[in-house]
Structure 1
Amino acid sequence: MNSSDQFEINLYDFNTRLPDKIDHRIYENDQWPLVYILSDGIMKEAYVGETTDMRARMKTHLANQRKQRLTVVHLLSSSLFNKSATLDIESNLIRYLSGDGYYQLQNGNLGLANHNYYNKKELYWEIFKNIWQRLRTEGIAKHSLKHIDNSDLFKYSPYKSLSKDQVDGLKTIIRGLIADDAKNLLIDGGAGTGKTVLAIFLFKLIHTDLEDFNFTEFGEEEKELPQLVAVLKKKYPQPKMALVVPMASFRKTLSNVFKHVKDLKASMVIGPSEVIKKHYDIVLVDESHRLRRRVNLSGTHTSIFDRNMVQLGLDKYKDSELNWILLKSKKAVFFYDANQSIKPSDVKKEDFQRLRQQLDTREEQLKSQFRVMGGIDYVNFIDQLLSVSVPKTKGIFQSKVYEFLLFHSFEDMVGQIKKREQEYSLARLIAGYAWKWISNKDPEQYDICIGDVQLRWNRTSIDWINSEGSIEEVGCIHTTQGYDLNYAGVIFGNEISYDKITQRIVIRKENYHDKNGKNAIENAEQLHDFILNIYKTILLRGVRGTYIYVCDPDLRDYFAQYIPSFGVTDDKEEITLTKEPDENAIPFYDLAVAAGDFSDAQTVGEVQYVLLPHNMYDTNDLFACKVVGESMNRIIPNGSICLFRKYSGGSRNGKIVLASATAIQDADFGSYYTIKEYSSKKIVSEEGWQHEKIILNPLSYDDKYKPIVLEEDTLTDFKVIGIFERVL
């Protein structure tokens, strides 16, 4: 069945004549489940629904004052639809239309479907993708699904299906907001447990009319939530509310999200200093572990801080922004993670502990992991790795759904992050504060120099992840905390090491260059905890994967015991050779018969194909060869089948290459071909530069292997055929 035959989308005017117009349509008029979109192109508002009785549902909507302002309806019908499928498509349309940002939705955000059913992924997700393409054709949707998946508007949209953890947290919060004997609510949760999503969801929930909620699909065990919402709405019909976000960059991001959500406003997202301007019924505080006290603040921030303290009658040396929230709100909800406190200016754990012990404080714990695809296993492993408590029986971390790799070449990691950026977008480099910010005063200077790679810190602190050119820069904790990436390339600097004698991670304070992060530190253990919290936090940014490069050799050796290395795999899949090409196969050449440049002039009969492992990503221009001999056994074991990428230009120095030349005499490969590490010496003349000599170095445990040196006339037909990628 063609995609065009899977469903129909019919457009009607949304008015009192609509029920008569759909009389002759079998799906619209015969108790068949379908999905619909009401919209108005001038107001840019829409409503998404599903029903098995289109006539009755449209009459209901036509009697609704808010929906009367909508002017057209798109009806989505199919012989393949069932009730589960239409609920799922309705839910996806709500989520993606909200993330698309072209329309503001009149829908409430409670009751979105999220359940499994037959052929959900195999059939109905494909149908939804085709529906989305048609809606783009009709002008209802503007952006691709991939673009929306990577957008902040989609990630932080209030239109989410909540997990059981989040529903329990939501109930705890609502009960606390309703109860007269509860003032403060403390929602604990690690990075990626959905604290921000829950905060935004709650904000939208309180600002939505009851009639816009979809409670029809709630089961018996879920009936308490609609009842709680009804009581909450009665108690707070028009509450004075604010979402406080301490970090300026993340605050701007969430303000932009609020601007695109019906009934919410950008002005509802504020900084801590704005709280003191008026009294609030309800204040939600996201990332509350980043609220500040009077330590290491800049001159301007210190003045504002002191002025606010005087206005509120507080002690500027003992109290903090936490106290501002408590004084200016009837009810306060704090979303908190002690392990994301990263500098001395953050409110102390002890202050939150005192809040926790108050009789009018209620608590809830979020445990499920929503950000990283590695799930709670990956989160627990990171905790164990940085606390040096990985069980002896653990071995190398393995995940079939999460790409977690240790790189021994910084250039390789940078290259792989750029490839992931091309494939998925939102792949970024992040580092600890082991380098001074030189480029802040001199933009032409580089901050981070590792080997031949030179990079600069982030040029902007506001929404850096989405800024132009960020793929060429390195972010820090302040520009990434709270954000999601698809891939994170984390650079461990020389401020963090590993003591092989005490078997403990140690901090080199002299190599830590965040002045505000180490001034006023009370003891070495406090700095140790702050820096580990920084790395824990940035190691939990990547949704699809995390790459690591470690500057300190002792720490790198420690990590190598537990993290799989790039280009090396212990769990080898069986290598299959075939004579027939396949979409997941690449050419396998026998060096004895291959043409020197592996040209297209070869016939298919001269080539075999090797099937690639399931976790291979970028396969463009790859080919495989079998490497025999011991001249490269430090990297490539004898008899290995290796992947190479066809050489198309660029620097080759320090890379392992497959090269050919008539002058090559290689003990392992015989004449013409060799696999070695490349280096060259160039000379410059009036005619330009040229190679004086090329040195091809063995990487062997056996000293009998010597470099191959090519000079002058022997360079005439020298050719690099491919760059080594990895051992299969």
Structure 2
Amino acid sequence: MLVYTSDKPGFLRDVGDNRIADRVLDTMQKSGQGSVSDSERRSWEESLLRMKNVLEDRIVPDDAGIAIEYRIPQTSRRVDLIVSGTDDSGQDVCVIIELKQWSDVTATSKDAIVRTWLGGSDRETTHPSYQAWSYASLLQDFNATVQDETIRLEACAYLHNCVDRTGVCDEHYRMHLDRAPVFLKHDPQKLREFIARYVKAGDRNRTLYRIEHGRIRPSRALAASLSNLMRGKREFLMIDDQKLAYETALEVVNFANAGHKQVLIVEGGPGTGKSVVAINLLIELINRGLITHYVTPNRAPRQVYQARLTGTLKKSRFDNLFKGSGTYAGADDDEMDALVVDEGHRIKERSQYQKAGTNQTRDIIRAAKASIFLIDEDQQVTWPDAGSIAEIQRWAAQADATVQRMVLQSQFRCNGSDGYLAWLDQLLGIRPTAQDDLEGVPYHFEVVDSPGELQRRVVELDRAGSKARVVAGYCWDWVSRKTPGVADIEFPEAGFAMAWNLDEDEGRYLERAHSIDQVGCIHTVQGLEMDYVGVIIGPDLVVRNGEIVTQPAARAKTDRSLRGHKTLFETDPAEATARADRIIRNTYRTLMSRGMKGCLVYCTDTETQAWFQARAAEAIAAPTRSGVHPEGPDTDNVVFLDASDVTPADNAVPFVEMTAAAGAFADSPVRQSSPIDSQTWVELPELFNARADHFVMRVVGESMNLRIPNGSLCLFRASPGGTREGKIVLVQHRDIQDPDTGSGLTVKRYHSEKAPADDGEGWRHQRIVLACETTAPGYEDIVFESADEVGDLRVLAEYVATVG
């Protein structure tokens, strides 16, 4: 939205007559953008007076267009000043200028982040060069006029009170400086020449008006960049009910864009793949030309995705798509086609820095035609966390939105086991469950004897190729933040001394190799995962007389997650106590579920340590069910039966004696046995009904460990008909060697590309991919492209579920 426009003489006159601030503010108020503080008004007057000095020279054409405080659609961002015209080839051009009154700037080690005096204190903020060229990038990616008419955009920053270029022009920021140079107090002539280099002739604001009325849509280049992100990144592959949630969300967005506001709530516990669904939705909706953002209240997930996607997506493009939940306070109704909100439980009512808006959930629902919230209420871990299903439903009803709910059931963290999470809920008193032990649960849980042993074991696991880190409850002050090199958490008698993760790493903690020597906290690991996690349980959670007791006062002074507890306690001690108790328990539940394969625990309190050791011993030592266990561990969570004892009334299926390698193929002959002739049968869980074409088989290998843990007993349906596309199947081929077992079979996800048959009738397989879904290195998809290879492939059965 254009707030102020004029040609150069008009701008110079308004500034010279001291009317410029009045004119800008009057237009903002008339257009419903509200007012500004006295300090911001004074900043306009000072900064625009400096720009008057720059533009007075005749080197800048008199008929050049001038715009002030241009608000970029779909954002709360306002561009300080734009000069428009045409270049020496006659191409339309806009020069974007970011104005700063900063006097001193200090460099940091973070990308595009500097320190300066803001709001009465020394703070970190975005580098002005990055700000300027990110605005240009936003217009290039989302304004159809800029895209279709190839309007040239240049950017720069003008720090008219700053003399020392040491900090702001540090070589660390070279990439941003090259895209948008910085001009300082004594550089008005250089800035003047920069503008004149591109604006050779004026356009009397024609370019600005065309941009103002340009259609908002994602560019093809942006869509292509996003699509490239997914190539070769197996962690974003959707399976099972993730795919169902994804397709449901797309349907909801279609309904919304047909005219009625929609809200979809997707519930899912740790490791159910909420973020995988969210990222895939962002990419698909952008590909469909819909204005969409990925939203998270906490920065850690956004920072991790930024680190993982570096090289494919420019930082400016990333920041223009991945947003915080406080972004939409000033947004217009339905200005976004869709907002995909990950970590929805962490939404705040209002952030401490948010000036506008009434409620973040309300603002998000109001701003988008379709809002998709991915949420786990048991991961609310700070006092301001206000995201809940009830809150979403309340604001959706006020917006007259249709609400749909669905649940992600499949567990892909904790070795694919819901059993560990159910046991953890019972252990921590989150909720009662029927999971009293870890019998049959393929997950390693252990209470170690000392913090030193915890650190040593984590380091050994990490060096062996499993991503592992130490994390802790926030019970120790973050001294190392201001005094680098000191230890924050010390146990001298155990030889343990570690610091919290580095300030500059923030959510990139897991991506940094040096973080193996640091301790992560809830703020840096929530929403992330590793193979093994080592958890230090501090004095905020202790056991007394066999019961867990939470102690908010034991939290560190530097931790803000319980800020507000003392104030509420003065008026409502019962509610304050219950709320703090829930946050502390949820924090340890979240920390103890970061490991996909295992969790090691050490408790700083002696009585608590003994209680956790006893509970772990009871869980692990639980008796196994009786029965035969062909070729498998004693922890198989199924009952095996002799064939002679099976009656038609039993919910049982044959156990087929053949090894399916979830690895690759082999030359060895296929060793099959008919289900009818099988001497061992498996009693199925109540969830499944035995069918004549069902059988159970053990799957060995790591290439499908995101879905099928190594050694699992899996239920299959023999000789499946219909399409196999996207399904997990048991297949046979004669030409590829299996490195693990020598079996002639493999289990993989099946994908087929088809082409018209050579005779013009029907179709043929052009390419078949048997895809791995794994966290383990060394496995590759198996691809068949020749007719002979495809013809030799036999699909023997379709995977139904893991049953033990």
TM-score, normalised on structure 2?
0.43
Normalised by the size of structure 1, how large is the TM-score?
A: 0.48
